[in-house]
Structure 1
Amino acid sequence: MHLFAQIEGELDIAIGKLFELEKDNSLILTASIDFFKKCNIVKTALNAQDDGSKEKAIREAFSDVARVNDLRQIVAHSMFEGHAPDGVEFRRNTAKGALKKEIVAWSEKDCDAHFIKMEQVRRDLHFLVQKIAPYKPSLDFSDPRNSMYLGMF
């Protein structure tokens, strides 16, 4: 859970930078946004600011974030116990249209691989977050996002 919290922390930092929020204001905002909405905000901002050179890195980073979130859900929402000879067994139940019961077993080697992957995802996200620039709204009417303001005049 610690490694996943670090991934979420990178998203929180990006949102704070994007909106130029002071620390406490950033904490208030990010504590009120669920994980995948944070992902969407940061991914959208990165894509909007990208000149095309980081498109693949952005897409891959956020696909990896979604994959490690699946691992987090197994750990956070499943009963678990030791699994011979050197692992852990998770009993996961999900109900999305139908009840699904599954047993997921991870060896010590699997756990190590998952931890390494989460750290890599955090590093990749950190690299992208360093590039995010604050959003500067403007009333440039050539920007279609601002065309709604024309009706006000």
Structure 2
Amino acid sequence: MSEPIVPELVRAFDVTVRLGPVEDHGATRAGHRRVIPIVGGEISGAIEATILPGGADWQLVRTDGALEIDGRYSARTADDDLLFLQVSGVRSGPPDVLAALLAGEDVAPTEYYFRTALRIETSAPALASLEHAVFVASCIRHAATVRYTAFRVT
């Protein structure tokens, strides 16, 4: 009987997402809801594209202070091809660090955990391989941006 292949991570692309002001919806039936508009950004590396305004990150602040991430946004390449990115994950850490991040302060990424999984959709034949891969990312939160490096799981 064969053994499963042990996946490796291959650096694929870097992303900077520019954020609008936080819309704090407060406590809802699902939890403490925050919506952060995505107003633009850039993707570079295996993909070169501009992030379009109009997406958002629909976050839930858990009772333990961690955030559940649910980001969805579009990007356009120089060839006018569109990409849809769906990003889900978690940001967690010590309470004082999470409070500083929620307040918009810059905190060293070694002080908290911020990882996501990405799914990409496109109708562009030249980019179809992106739909046949799993990507994970290591993320950094700044006051007005999120930066991450996406890795293709082999």
Q: TM-score, normalised by structure 1?
A: 0.22
Q: Which has the higher strand share?
A: 2
Which has the higher relative contact order, 1 or 2, with Cα contacts under 8 A spaced 6 or more apart?
A: 1
TM-score normalized by the length of structure 2: 0.22
